Amino acid sequence: MKRFSEHIVESVVNPLIKLFYPDECRNCGGILSFGEVILCDSCFSKFEFQPKYEEDATISGCQFSYIFSLGIHNGILQEYVHRMKYEGVQSIPKRLITRADEIGILPSKFLREKTLIPVPLHPAKVRERGFNQAEIMAQALSSRLECDVLNALKRIRYTLPMVELSPEERKRNVKGAFAMRNCNVQREVVIVDDVLTTGSTVAECARILKEAGCDVVGIFTLTRAN
Q: Which residues bind Zn ion (CB under 5 A)?
A: 25, 27-28, 40, 43
Between residues 27 and 78, which has the closer beta carbon with respect to Zn ion? 27
Contact residues for 192 (Cβ-Cβ < 8 A; gap 6+)? 116, 117, 118, 119, 134, 137, 138, 141, 219, 220, 221
**Shortest spacing between CB 217 and Zn ion, in angstroms:** 38
Contact residues for 150 (Cβ-Cβ < 8 A; gap 6+)? 115, 116, 117, 183, 185, 189
CB burial class (10 A; 0-12, 13-18, 19+) of residue 187? middle
**Shortest spacing between CB 23 and Zn ion, in angstroms:** 11
Between residues 40 and 111, which has the closer beta carbon with respect to Zn ion? 40
Between residues 37 and 150, which has the closer beta carbon with respect to Zn ion? 37
CB atoms within 10 A of CB 145: 19
**Shortest spacing between CB 102 and Zn ion, in angstroms:** 18
**Shortest spacing between CB 28 and Zn ion, in angstroms:** 3
Between residues 14 and 33, which has the closer beta carbon with respect to Zn ion? 33
Between residues 83 and 207, which has the closer beta carbon with respect to Zn ion? 83
**Shortest spacing between CB 45 and Zn ion, in angstroms:** 10
Between residues 25 and 165, which has the closer beta carbon with respect to Zn ion? 25
